[in-house]
Structure 1
Amino acid sequence: MIMTVFSRRTAFAAVSVLLLVACNKPAATGTGGGQTAAIAAGEHVKGSDAAPVTLIEYASPTCPACKYFHDSILPDLEENYVATGKVKFVFREYPVHGDVDVAAYVLALCSGDDNFFATLDDLFANQSGIVDAARSGVLKATLQTIGKRHGIETEAQFDACMENRAYREVLADKYQVATDKWNVNSTPTFIINGEEFTFEGDLRSYDGFAKYIDGLIGETPAAQEAAPAEETPAADAPATETTDQ
């Protein structure tokens, strides 16, 4: 049995028991006071450094709303804004589901900088299988299968990856910045040019993101073909306690 307890002051513990901090403060929409969201070396970035808009996403690989954004909104943002030099997209890990999220993110980090987004895509594509595996006590086997597709081919390599303390410290540092500086307490949360937004209101659709970004860069949104209405999953917040059998 793996027990994961979230508390404000908890840091990472042993490899088999991953304890993370949780923020109990409510995350506001459109807050942040215009603070500069500095982009550090080693960040996961798509787009030009010269882009006028920086969009940071804090996300969990097991969060349904994050998968919805990843599958249904981000591709159009990448095509129309990232690829055209208007937006720099930065992905930051925010593990709200303890052991499962941390293990998944460590796996993505082990795959290397050049393969991080490909591994992340794989994690989102197999989200339901990962969650089911965690509940059934076979998470290691499921993540090993994913890892083999991204250069982590042997059990020894996988075990060494999971035991990589440096990657866990990277995740802990990002989590601390997210909670202390930005008051992040749910996923996905977005920082757009220093302003924090939760996944609600207009920012639950591509059109909402496009309208806000175009406002920042002084453009009129291009007409979009209407798409069928689709139910959007609610944002995920850190649980107080989860148990994986």
Structure 2
Amino acid sequence: MIKKSTFTSLIVVLVIVIAISSFFAGSYITNLTSDKITKSDLDTAISKLESKIGNTAKSNVQPNTPPVKISIDDDPMKGDPNAPITIIEFSDYECPFCQRFYVNTLPLIEENYINTGKVNFVYRDFPIQSIHDNALPASLATECADDQGKFWEYHNMIFDKKSTWEKIDGANLLQEFEQYAVVLGLNIEEFNACLESGKYLDEIKKDLQDGRDYGVTGTPAFFIGNDELGYVELKGAQPFESFQKVIDGMLRH
């Protein structure tokens, strides 16, 4: 019997292959009939696909529509709270595309916009339990790390260690999360008590409900803007250039 996680991975791969072949049928078929497709080839194709999706999303934005307000709630923020532009991410720690954004795009946003005081970045939880069994425990663990002032450090470690913890379940999963807390120097008794009690379950449920109210159906989903200008939504692990165009356009206002 195929495990649920394995079946999901197969579906994701199939969707990616179909999508890429739809956009790049000529070159993709040529590669299939000649040489093996390398990981580099696939990454390049996915990046081009994401760029096309990003351009399509931006072309559908109507500049004269009334501003849409998106709440940052009381969720963790990276950067200057008074920055003119806010990026709100709804994310699932077990989502491969969320990890892709974390690895490839977030560092460039940090370097060019967050560290320069132009943008702040808010993380909101959107664990999709129907396909990611460990996403909710990962969100709970990270919220518990936030209790001790280590949200972003734990957030980074969760994404960095994703290939390990996503394969674990039950008590072993909690022990794995405990080890990350040890590495970060957290008070382990407090961390474990927080995690085992499900202290932040209601907070995560609120993030989920808010996301649904804003039309979020998958992760990652981003809202870029402020209350005056409204927010532009970007869907998926889009390349830095997609964010750059939206942010620079808003900064010119």
Fold-level similarity (TM above 0.5): yes
Across the two proteins, how many residue pairs are aligned to each other? Answer: 186
CA RMSD of aligned residues (A): 2.6
* SS of equivalent residue, structure 1 residue 169: helix
Q: CA deviation at 1:157?
A: 4.5
Match of 1:109 in 2: 143
Q: CA deviation at 1:85?
A: 1.4
* Structure of greater Rg: 2
Match of 1:210 in 2: 244
Q: Distance in 1 between matches of 2:114 and 2:199?
A: 30
Query: Gaps spanning 5+ residues in structure 2: where?
Result: 5-55, 226-230
Query: Gaps spanning 5+ residues in structure 1: where?
Result: 4-27, 220-245
* Contact 2:178/2:192 (<8 A) preserved: no
Match of 2:110 in 1: 78
- Distance verdict in 2 for CA 1:99–1:153, change over 3 Å: farther
* Contact 2:94/2:135 (<8 A) preserved: yes
Q: Write the deviation string for residues 182-214 of structure 1: whole angstroms up to 9, x where unpaired.
A: 1111110001122222116xxx11122112211
Deviates more, 1:144-153 or 1:99-108: 144-153
What's the TM-score once normalised by structure 2's chain length? 0.65
Q: CA deviation at 1:76?
A: 1.0
Structure 1 or 2: more helix by fraction: 2
What's the TM-score once normalised by structure 1's chain length? 0.67
Q: Spell out the pairing of 1:1-245 with structure 2 (5 A cutoff).
A: 29=57, 34-40=67-73, 42-97=74-129, 99-113=133-147, 114-134=149-169, 138-152=172-186, 154=188, 157-180=190-213, 182-193=214-225, 194-199=231-236, 204-218=238-252
Amino acid in structure 2 at the alignment position of 1:89: F
Q: Write the deviation string for residues 139-182 of structure 1: whole angstroms up to 9, x where unpaired.
A: 2232222222234564x5454222334311111111111112x1
Paired-residue identity, %: 28
- Distance verdict in 2 for CA 1:48–1:152, change over 3 Å: closer
Q: CA deviation at 1:33?
A: 5.6
